[in-house]
């Protein structure tokens, strides 16, 4: 079966980087590839994500689908509690595959709502206040330690709400914990209360965890075909293991980014022309920033939603400081066709577009933007997504994960730790007078 693959186009990089400069990076790419595949680089104890697509246990997939099927059968609302990599990946997947104006976010109309990703009273109170009295509710709390303050406090509030709503037996059935296999506050609570659990593997860091139960369970509850998701990622995993280094698109992406970084292009704008890609790029932003931003190094990732942001930051991109480059993430095919009607009066003078679709106009806006930014001195490349499918989504996840691992090694840093994240926490805990 011929499957549709995502593809990277770097033609618009050529005016800014010659092939000789890219070829000069090949020895570094080969070294990074070896570090990843042989586990000899910094942070090698967190390479568990590398073979998740092909080695995820079928029983685990079945267990996820069984509990998700229970949630969906009852047309339940799932409150998904987590922060960072514990929610961004699943949110990205659900919003990528869902109708854009679902009343309840989910492919089949089932609701998956996210909390625990901030410390805002309005957010949690408005969320709980919006739940109808007859709504059927499940909770998935995601945390390796169980003590990260944002999800831990959200879970306290949600758990208190659930205790008032359900008796102990029902409550036990309705809380699913995704956490450490053996240790941590959440694991302890799950064991004491008899909650069902999924395990976060020890060798997979949070931002690389989307293809573990961290991401798979919420997506399955929203109706995502997680087998197809894993198939897409597994096909890309296979390509990375078998293809020549110079033909692997994810490695080309890492090479181009680092070549531009070495030219002083320290800001990457991830741009889309489809609203369903916004949260995908949010996931990318966290993955890239937390993996690369350390030791005084790193490419700063930003997001632009076009054509909307062409009327916001478009001026800066076009004529501002030339310390930026751009990666377009483009949907090639849409499932909907909004055809432009003919109007007799033609007051807006748009009849010349009558009969064409909005997607056609959007594609011309993309082409025009690429031309303008290229001539304006902004190096750019395009990751082409064939369709909104779970299979393509799996490829997107794996593409960026393997690419940022290579890119991190090109930068000379450990792409799998995040020591700087603790700084704000330590200061906050001191201000809160946390007991030692």
Give the model confidence (pLDDT) of 284-325 as tens digits.
999 999 999 999 999 999 999 999 999 999 999 999 999 999
> Is 237 designated active site?
no
Residue 371 included in any domain:
yes
Residue 62 included in any domain:
yes
Shared domain for 203 and 275, answered yes or no, is no
- Give residue 168's pLDDT band: very low, low, confident or very high (50, 70, 90): very high
Residue 333 included in any domain:
yes
Q: What is the mean pLDDT of the chain?
A: 93
Among 51, 183, 297, 425, the active-site one is 425
Q: Which two tokens stand for residue 313?
A: 């930051």
The yes-or-no verdict on residue 434 having pLDDT over 90 is no
Looking at 224, 250, 279, which one is the last position of a domain?
224
- For the segment 127-147, the average pLDDT, to the nearest whole number, is 91
Among 290, 292, 326, 401, the active-site one is 290
CATH number of the structural domain spanning residue 92: 3.40.50.10490
Shared domain for 219 and 244, answered yes or no, is no
The yes-or-no verdict on residue 164 having pLDDT over 60 is yes
Shared domain for 307 and 201, answered yes or no, is no
Tens-place pLDDT, residues 41-87: 999 999 999 999 999 999 999 999 999 999 988 888 999 999 999 99
Domain count of the fold of the chain: 2
Residue 435 included in any domain:
no
Shared domain for 319 and 203, answered yes or no, is no
- For the segment 94-117, the average pLDDT, to the nearest whole number, is 77
Shared domain for 93 and 203, answered yes or no, is yes
Q: How many whole angstroms from its chain centre is CA 211?
A: 11
Q: Which two tokens stand for residue 32?
A: 């990074």
The yes-or-no verdict on residue 110 having pLDDT over 80 is no
The yes-or-no verdict on residue 106 having pLDDT over 80 is no
Shared domain for 250 and 335, answered yes or no, is yes
Q: Which two tokens stand for residue 54?
A: 């092909």
Shared domain for 88 and 233, answered yes or no, is no
The residue that leads in pLDDT, 194 or 110, is 194
Tens-place pLDDT, residues 201-217: 999 999 999 999 999 99
Residue 203 included in any domain:
yes
Looking at 164, 198, 224, which one is the last position of a domain?
224
Among 311, 336, 337, 430, the active-site one is 311
**For the chain, what's the residue count?**
436
User: Domain limits at 374?
Assistant: 7-41+229-420
Q: Which two tokens stand for residue 188?
A: 């302890």
The yes-or-no verdict on residue 104 having pLDDT over 60 is no
Shared domain for 27 and 168, answered yes or no, is no
**Range in 1-15, 91-105, 371-385 the model is least confident about:** 91-105
> Is 290 designated active site?
yes
Name all contacts of 306-310 with Cβ < 8 Å and 24+ positions apart. Answer: 306/271, 306/272, 306/273, 306/365, 306/366, 306/369, 307/273, 307/362, 307/365, 307/369, 309/271, 310/365, 310/369
> Is the Cα torsion angle 362, 367, 368, 372 positive or negative in sign?
positive
Residue 411 included in any domain:
yes
Shared domain for 252 and 360, answered yes or no, is yes
- For the segment 252-265, the average pLDDT, to the nearest whole number, is 96
Shared domain for 199 and 215, answered yes or no, is yes
- Cis preceding-peptide flag for 82 (omega within 30 of 0): no
Look at the block and give the residue holding tokens 């909390």: 115
Shared domain for 246 and 381, answered yes or no, is yes
- For the segment 356-383, the average pLDDT, to the nearest whole number, is 95
Tens-place pLDDT, residues 326-357: 999 999 877 778 899 999 999 999 999 899 99
- For the segment 239-246, the average pLDDT, to the nearest whole number, is 89
Residue 200 included in any domain:
yes
Looking at 224, 256, 282, which one is the last position of a domain?
224
Cβ 9 vs Cβ 381: under 8 Å: yes
* Predicted local confidence at residue 105, as pLDDT: 54
The yes-or-no verdict on residue 107 having pLDDT over 60 is no
Residue 426 included in any domain:
no
Shared domain for 279 and 216, answered yes or no, is no
């Amino acid at each position: 079966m011929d499957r549709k693959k995502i593809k990277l186009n770097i033609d618009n990089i050529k005016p800014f980087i010659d092939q000789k400069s890219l070829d000069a990076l090949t020895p570094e790419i080969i070294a990074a590839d070896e570090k990843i595949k042989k586990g000899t680089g910094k942070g090698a104890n967190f390479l568990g994500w590398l073979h998740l697509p092909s080695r995820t246990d079928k029983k685990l997939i079945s267990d996820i689908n069984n509990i998700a099927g229970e949630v969906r059968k009852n047309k339940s609302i799932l409150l998904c509690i987590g922060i960072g990599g514990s929610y961004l990946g699943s949110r990205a997947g659900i919003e990528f595959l869902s109708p854009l104006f679902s009343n309840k976010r989910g492919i089949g109309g089932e609701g998956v709502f996210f909390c625990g990703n901030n410390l805002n009273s309005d957010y949690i109170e408005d969320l709980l206040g919006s739940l109808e009295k007859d709504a059927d509710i499940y909770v998935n709390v995601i945390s390796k330690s169980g003590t990260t303050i944002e999800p831990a406090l959200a879970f306290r509030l949600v758990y208190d709400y659930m205790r008032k709503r359900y008796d102990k037996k029902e409550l036990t059935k309705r809380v699913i914990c995704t956490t450490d296999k053996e240790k941590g506050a959440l694991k302890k609570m799950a064991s004491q209360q008899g909650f069902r659990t999924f395990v976060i593997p020890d060798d997979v860091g949070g931002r690389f965890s989307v293809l573990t139960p961290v991401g798979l369970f919420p997506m399955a509850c929203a109706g995502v075909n997680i087998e197809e998701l894993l198939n897409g990622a597994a096909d890309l995993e296979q390509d990375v293991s078998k293809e020549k280094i110079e033909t692997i698109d994810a490695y080309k992406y890492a090479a181009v980014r680092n070549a531009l970084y070495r030219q002083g292009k320290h800001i990457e704008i991830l741009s889309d022309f489809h609203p369903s890609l916004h949260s995908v790029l949010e996931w990318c932003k966290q993955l890239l920033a937390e993996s690369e931003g350390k030791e005084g190094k790193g490419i700063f990732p930003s997001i632009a939603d076009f054509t909307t942001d062409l009327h916001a930051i478009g001026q800066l991109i076009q004529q501002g400081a030339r310390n930026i480059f751009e990666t377009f993430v483009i949907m090639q095919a849409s499932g909907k066709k909004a055809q432009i009607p003919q109007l007799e009066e033609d007051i807006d003078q748009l009849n010349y577009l009558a009969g064409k679709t909005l997607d056609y106009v959007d594609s011309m806006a993309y082409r025009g933007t690429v031309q303008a930014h290229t001539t304006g001195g902004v190096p750019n490349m395009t990751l082409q997504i064939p369709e909104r499918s779970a299979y393509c989504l799996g490829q997107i996840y794996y593409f960026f994960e393997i690419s940022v691992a290579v890119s991190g090694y090109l930068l000379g840093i450990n792409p799998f730790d995040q020591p700087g994240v603790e700084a704000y926490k330590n200061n906050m805990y001191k201000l809160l007078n946390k007991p030692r």
